[in-house]
Chains A and B, each alone.
Chain A
């Protein structure tokens, strides 16, 4: 039987898989010619190119944020902004190029598809390499494809929603995203269709010094229901990688969407992702987020509760180890009566890692009878680390109930001593307590992902004692 250490070593190797291929870095930097070439390569219609060029103008005008982690390390002119695909996207696993297939096989993606998923998408560097959805779902009118295909095959649908949740001038990195976007998933769930098995898109950035700019657009029509999982990972390099993806979610009246993310980018990744959702009357959106990787993350999924009785739940955990600065959180706008938000955020920091939780919550004047409960808990495993909680609340009406609480603490010596007296080693005791702290979050994931999350926690805690 493999020991825990061996299992962890194996897992580490899986995430750190590198290939020996020569990367075809077709574009480095960002300018008008590059944007036009990417658009031409993808055979895009003019309206898409126009959005790209408009975004480029904003990118050139906008400054880096004057708050949050230091981003000066990113050399925007040196980032590989587009990597030409070797093959066209496949809908059969056998048609995926061997070296790429090998990476995803080891990450367990096809295995997960067979077991528990309604559909799978896999992106490798700049482009989706595989997309497949169960025939049964296709028959119900469910669309699950890569974003480029959606632009070609469902132009009206894409045009109606694309950039409508996240405007192209939201901030510098979203402007960069809209100028360079490539890959990502498009999901459309027709009215009343309930998907019992989740869809999963997996994003892998294998090329050193590259950026990934995938765009995910999900529309869940009235009364429909979807669970969507995204996984992200990359092997470690000395050069910085950049992830500036974008997720736009539209949850219509009485619809439900659970959007889960397990992110384990390598520790050389600058993860500057933007996610935004608009929820209709009696619609419900659940964000479930596990953030483990990256050197720097700035990620604050936003929800606009536009309809009466719309709901948002956020359940998230961040784990920052040595050299990591994970600046995460949530933004919510209450713009309807009887809307509700529940936030349950946890963070763990160790070995000098920095976890910051930021929230921006705006309860608008019209959102009477709304209820909000925001809770953040931080666990610090040593005094070299940092854990900051920075919530901003703007309340504009008198007829709501809003409670916010945050706590910071350490693991008590008594708890460790108790478990050690029951025969556990100090390291095992620590892992057990941290997993217990994370349990409310891990149980929100499907079982396979909860197991993966616990393994990632074990991996991060390896060697903490002694």
Chain B
């Protein structure tokens, strides 16, 4: 069945078909696969099977796995949530994290065969919270992944979200950050790689919704073969949000002459006293950097890999678990050959 998903917050010209993505999906009933948490101490955890799944991507399905997590105190250890898919399975799930205290979390999805993921992460913070959350998609090359991330950020709180989107034939992702209280801030950092005929549609939106709020979005990507990505990043300064700041940057390296990169970095502004900017660079690897590395005896292929990895490192350094970080780096090495 055909679905129109991932609508941009504001429509623009239809020429480049960037306002949404039309996909043909075969939706099955969700199977409740294994998941495990690295620890449960000091957490209030509630698990339920609910009905009526929806996210800002717009694909509504029926039954889904709901996981509600609330830390009872500030926790230094990183909570790792592992989702393991059974063979050829379909999963709809929503994790809701109530940040009444500081908590850093990594959520990893793994599958070995074709899988379908329809996932939503909702994060609500109290005041004065600092949190670093990473989502890592390590599903199979034949997987379809719909990942929606939402957060509402309270006064003096800062939520850093990292999304590592490096595997899967069709990947649709959505990020929505509501900086609804004064001095709230959020950063969203993404690494993406497209190989073969993989298709990526990313729709990310931050609303600077109160005074002195700060939003940052950083996208580091590489495309090879016939891959095709659409990245829509929006910073929205609504009315009466003076002294707020917003910045969005994308760096997309194209490693073949048949891949395609589409970008829509929107900057919407309804307030005079703000500083907003976006920057986008696209194209081949900087020839001077390449030449420098090659003059040191490094092959062209290896030099390219090094430069892309250096770009990715800015995001990878935010990942708070070294074994997961190493696992990601190995996959990156394979995929940018």
Let me know if A73 is at the binding interface, CB within 8 A: no
Let me know if B49 is at the binding interface, CB within 8 A: no
Q: Is the CB of A386 within 8 A of B278?
A: no
Partner of B279, one of A331, A396, A404: A404
Closest B residue to A408 using CB positions: B276
Q: Is the CB of A395 within 8 A of B271?
A: no
Contacts of A368 in B (CB 8 A): 257
Residue interface mask B240-269, A partner, CB < 8 A = 1? 101000000000111111111111111111
Contacts of B271 in A (CB 8 A): 380, 383
Let me know if B100 is at the binding interface, CB within 8 A: no
CA of A399 to CA of B273 in the docked complex: distance in angstroms? 39
Closest A residue to B275 using CB positions: A409
B251 CB → nearest A CB, Å: 10
Q: Is the CB of A360 within 8 A of B13?
A: yes
DSSP majority for the A interface? strand
Partner of B280, one of A331, A360, A393: A393
**How many chain-B residues does the 8 Å CB contact rule pick out?**
46
Closest A residue to B280 using CB positions: A404
Partner of B239, one of A378, A381, A383, A408: A383
Contacts of B261 in A (CB 8 A): 393-396
Q: Is the CB of A392 within 8 A of B260?
A: no
Q: Is the CB of A406 within 8 A of B265?
A: yes
Given A391-B264, A404-B265, verify A410-B273 contact (CB < 8 Å).
yes
CA of A394 to CA of B267 in the docked complex: distance in angstroms? 18
Stretch at the interface among B69-77, B104-112, B281-289, B311-319: B281-289
A235 CB → nearest B CB, Å: 31
Q: Is the CB of B12 within 8 A of A394?
A: no
A452 CB → nearest B CB, Å: 27
Contacts of A400 in B (CB 8 A): 282-284
Q: Is the CB of A362 within 8 A of B16?
A: yes
Contacts of B279 in A (CB 8 A): 403-406
Contacts of B295 in A (CB 8 A): none
Contacts of A380 in B (CB 8 A): 269, 271-272
Q: Is the CB of A360 within 8 A of B273?
A: no
Contacts of A385 in B (CB 8 A): 270, 272
B84 CB → nearest A CB, Å: 36
Q: Is the CB of A398 within 8 A of B259?
A: yes
CA of A7 to CA of B16 in the docked complex: distance in angstroms? 47
Contacts of B258 in A (CB 8 A): 365
Q: Is the CB of B280 within 8 A of A402?
A: yes
Within 8 A of B (CB), among A361-414: 362, 365, 368, 378, 380-383, 385-410
Let me know if A252 is at the binding interface, CB within 8 A: no
A331 CB → nearest B CB, Å: 8
Partner of A408, one of B14, B264, B274: B274
Q: Which of B12, B240, B253, B276 has the most CB of A within 10 A?
A: B12
B186 CB → nearest A CB, Å: 19
Partner of B14, one of A66, A398, A407: A66
Contacts of A65 in B (CB 8 A): 13
Contacts of B274 in A (CB 8 A): 408-410
Closest A residue to B262 using CB positions: A394
Q: Is the CB of A388 within 8 A of B267?
A: yes
Residue pairs across A and B with Cβ atoms less than 8 A apart, 15 shown, are A360-B15, A380-B271, A383-B273, A389-B266, A389-B267, A390-B10, A391-B263, A392-B16, A393-B261, A395-B252, A395-B254, A398-B259, A405-B278, A409-B275, A410-B273
7 pairs of A and B residues whose beta carbons are closest in the complex? A398-B254, A67-B11, A408-B276, A404-B280, A380-B272, A389-B267, A400-B283
